[in-house]
Amino acid sequence: MIKQFISHEWKQFKRASYFQKGLVIKIFLILGAIYFGGIAIFLGAFLFFIAKKAIPDVDPIVTINNFIIYWFLFEILIRYFMQQLPVMNVKPLMVIPIKRNTVIHYLLGKTAISFFNFLSLFLFLPFSVVLLYKGYPAVNVLGWFLSIVLITLCINFFNFLVNKSNTVFYITLTLLLALIGLKYFDIYSALEPIGLAFNALYNQPYLVVIPLVLLVLLYNLNFKYVKNGFYLDDAVSKKIKAVEATDLSWFNRFGSIAPFLKNDIKLIWRNARPKQTMMMSFLFLFYGLLFYTQDTYKDMPALLAFASMFITGGFLMTFGQLVPSWDSEYYKMLMSQNIPYRKYLESKWYLMVTAVAISFVLSTPYIYFGWKIFGMIAAGALFNIGLNSFITLFGGALNRMPVELNTKAKAFSNTQGFNPTQLLISLPKFILPMGLFYIPYKLVNFETGIIVLALSGVAGIVFKNFFLSQIEKVYQKGKYKTIAAYSEKK
């Protein structure tokens, strides 16, 4: 039966209208997995020697056990944002004589072959081999390694519960924040007892039964959770939700583009995928901390210009790049109305400009790093408004991949709306601001670089009508191709 499930999923993927796009994405994902897997293997092979050099007086296995909790916390975080949970079209299977348990076991089994599970294997298997080569007891090393594998699988099934249950998510978030707060105020540190626990798993290999029991418990919890909702009436019944009415009358001051702006605000407020994208765009505000806090980047001003552009460009990069895919579910109706295409595009531009302006206001704490840095952020904001916004709208004309507004997939890993052409269109967004700043900086000085970057954005604002007219022509030319593409359902 499992073999038939795999065969059916392959046929569904191969026969779909989006096969070529899906194949390209799979190739990119495989290449990414090979790259990061190779890094993990390389790091794992030298982990013993890194730990020995960092703390010479402590046994490397003890050092790793004392700090391994950071790896698992990173794994939980990266899984929550990036791990794509397995899905399967189970409706046709509900009306034929196939046991529900078999289908559920298959769905949960698919999570075990996730790349995130193999990442720990790639990291800690070479480390374990080095331990054996150095003469550490084989039974202890194998017991410890098996415990690590089992804990990784526990995190896998725990992530399933966190993603599916809001209760589990909020309990987990509260506990993590409480532990961080206790550590920050020097009240209690959980690192020491956790380190002792992992050292115990190494010193007493029979304790491997503890993560094994925990794995079985989490698997059963997931099984019961999925089974409780595995009913035909639950799958086909339509859930009626009360829609909250929001007063958006103040948008009327924008005139003829007001209806489009209201529609976009409601779209973001009422749907899962746009909400996830909004949350992700907010995280871009903290992007500068990766650069401004490191002395290494002080001698790399081009990278600082790159970071400054990202701080205020989060919404533009995430939400803007999927224009007009956000409207794919009703695009045909929208295009049948007696409304100017120009007003539709202009509303999107104003929405992105407003988001950049709000991000700039929220970025004012970066003044702490100096007026030069804040001036660079201001110049990056002008560049985003004057040039990046138009580059983004132009890229949208070439994007004909529909987006499901209420998909359960994660914003970081969801490939709906993805188009390989967008990768090429995105290059000017990254390279252009670096060049506009770096060349004047190298020829004259730092301030000149900031001024040129800012003036490029001002020039874009001045020629706004020209850019919008040219972009409108591109949209008009591909209008019916876009409507046809959005009509295809996966």
Distance CA 171, CA 316 (A): 32
- Same domain? For 6 and 60 the reply is yes
Taking the whole predicted model, whether its pTM rises above 0.75 is answered as no
- Same domain? For 204 and 269 the reply is no
Instruction: Answer whether residue 411 shows pLDDT above 70.
Output: no
The predicted structure's pLDDT at residue 9:
59
Confidence of residue 235 (pLDDT cuts 50, 70, 90): very low
Amino acid identity at 105 = H
Structure tokens at 14: 């191969």
279-310 pLDDT, tens digit per residue, is 778 888 888 887 888 777 777 777 888 888 88
- Same domain? For 137 and 277 the reply is no
What's the average model confidence in pLDDT over 253-271? 77
- How far is residue 44 CA from its own chain's centroid? 25
- Same domain? For 352 and 477 the reply is yes
- Same domain? For 432 and 333 the reply is yes
Instruction: Answer whether residue 242 shows pLDDT above 70.
Output: no
Q: Is residue 26 part of a domain?
A: yes
- Asked if 136 and 164 count as a contact pair (C-beta separation under 8 A), the reply is no
- Same domain? For 193 and 151 the reply is yes
402: closest CA among 21, 90, 8? 21
Distance CA 211, CA 231 (A): 32
- Asked if 108 and 157 count as a contact pair (C-beta separation under 8 A), the reply is yes
- Same domain? For 170 and 315 the reply is no
The predicted structure's pLDDT at residue 243:
47
Confidence of residue 406 (pLDDT cuts 50, 70, 90): low
Distance CA 293, CA 106 (A): 46
What angle (nearest 5°) sits at the alpha carbon of residue 250, between those of residues 248 and 255?
Answer: 105
- How far is CA 6 from each of CA 2, 9, 12, 336, rounded to the nearest angstrom? 6, 5, 10, 42
- Same domain? For 85 and 169 the reply is yes
- How far is CA 297 from each of CA 135, 219, 303, 375, rounded to the nearest angstrom? 42, 45, 7, 17
Confidence of residue 2 (pLDDT cuts 50, 70, 90): low
Domain that holds residue 14: 2-236
Region of poorest pLDDT, from 154-168, 370-384, 431-445, 464-478: 154-168
Q: Is residue 244 part of a domain?
A: no
Instruction: Answer whether residue 413 shows pLDDT above 50.
Output: no
CB proximity list for 461: less than 8 A, separation 6 or greater: 382, 385, 386
429-439 pLDDT, tens digit per residue, is 778 888 888 89
What's the average model confidence in pLDDT over 457-472? 91
Q: Is residue 203 part of a domain?
A: yes
Structure tokens at 488: 């295809």
pLDDT winner (highest mean) among 109-113, 146-150, 388-392 = 146-150
What's the average model confidence in pLDDT over 372-392? 90
What's the average model confidence in pLDDT over 67-90? 74
- Asked if 243 and 270 count as a contact pair (C-beta separation under 8 A), the reply is yes
SS (H, E, C) the chain: CHHHHHHHHHHHHHHCCCHHHHHHHHHHHHHHHHHHHHHHHHHHHHHHHHHHHHCCCCCHHHHHHHHHHHHHHHHHHHHHHHCCCCCCCCHHHHHCCCCHHHHHHHHHHHHCCCHHHHHHHHHHHHHHHHHHHCCCCHHHHHHHHHHHHHHHHHHHHHHHHHHHCHHHHHHHHHHHHHHHHHHHCCCCCCHHHHHHHHHHHHHCHHHHHHHHHHHHHHHHHHHHHHHHCCCHHHHHCCCCCCCCCCCCHHHHHHHHHHHHHHHHHHHHHHCHHHHHHHHHHHHHHHCCHHHHCCHHHHHCHHHHHHHHHHHHCHHHHHCHHHCCHHHHHHHHHHHCCCCCHHHHHHHHHHHHHHHHHHHHHHCHHHHHHCHHHHHHHHHHHHHHHHHHHHHHHHHHHCCCCCCCCCCCCCCCCCCCCCCHHHHHHHHHHHHHHHHHHHHHHHHCCHHHHHHHHHHHHHHHHHCHHHHHHHHHHHHHHCHHHHHHHHHCCC
Amino acid identity at 372 = K
Confidence of residue 417 (pLDDT cuts 50, 70, 90): very low
- Asked if 68 and 74 count as a contact pair (C-beta separation under 8 A), the reply is no
Structure tokens at 405: 């507004």
- Asked if 411 and 318 count as a contact pair (C-beta separation under 8 A), the reply is yes
207-227 pLDDT, tens digit per residue, is 999 999 999 999 999 888 888
Average pLDDT of the chain to the nearest whole number: 79
- Same domain? For 215 and 171 the reply is yes
- Same domain? For 195 and 328 the reply is no
What's the average model confidence in pLDDT over 115-122? 87
The predicted structure's pLDDT at residue 4:
62
What's the average model confidence in pLDDT over 409-421? 47
- Same domain? For 217 and 86 the reply is yes
Distance CA 68, CA 198 (A): 8
Q: Is residue 242 part of a domain?
A: no
CB proximity list for 111: less than 8 A, separation 6 or greater: 85, 86, 156, 157, 160
485: closest CA among 405, 419, 390, 414? 419
The predicted structure's pLDDT at residue 306:
81
The predicted structure's pLDDT at residue 167:
72
What's the average model confidence in pLDDT over 8-21? 54
Confidence of residue 96 (pLDDT cuts 50, 70, 90): low
The predicted structure's pLDDT at residue 148:
94
The predicted structure's pLDDT at residue 145:
94
Among 180, 210, 236, residue at a domain's last position? 236
Q: Is residue 154 part of a domain?
A: yes
The predicted structure's pLDDT at residue 254:
67
Among 236, 266, 286, residue at a domain's last position? 236
Q: Report cis status (omega within 30 of 0) of the bond before 324.
A: yes
Confidence of residue 3 (pLDDT cuts 50, 70, 90): low
Q: For residue 303, count other CB atoms closer than 10 A to its CB.
A: 16
Among 236, 268, 297, residue at a domain's last position? 236
Instruction: Answer whether residue 470 shows pLDDT above 70.
Output: yes
> Hey, CA dihedral for 95, 98, 101, 102, is it positive or negative?
negative
Instruction: Answer whether residue 414 shows pLDDT above 70.
Output: no
Q: Is residue 169 part of a domain?
A: yes
What's the average model confidence in pLDDT over 337-361? 87
What's the average model confidence in pLDDT over 230-245? 48
CB proximity list for 427: less than 8 A, separation 6 or greater: none
Instruction: Answer whether residue 12 shows pLDDT above 60.
Output: no
The more confidently predicted of residues 471 and 484 is: 471
What's the average model confidence in pLDDT over 191-198? 84
Instruction: Answer whether residue 473 shows pLDDT above 80.
Output: yes
Q: Is residue 224 part of a domain?
A: yes
Q: Is residue 149 part of a domain?
A: yes
- Same domain? For 285 and 231 the reply is no
- Report the greatest alpha carbon distance in the chain: 79
End-to-end CA distance of the chain: 24
What's the average model confidence in pLDDT over 111-139? 89
Instruction: Provide φ and ψ at 90, rounded to 5°.
Output: -95, -10
The predicted structure's pLDDT at residue 154:
92
The more confidently predicted of residues 314 and 236 is: 314
* Count of domains forming the chain: 2
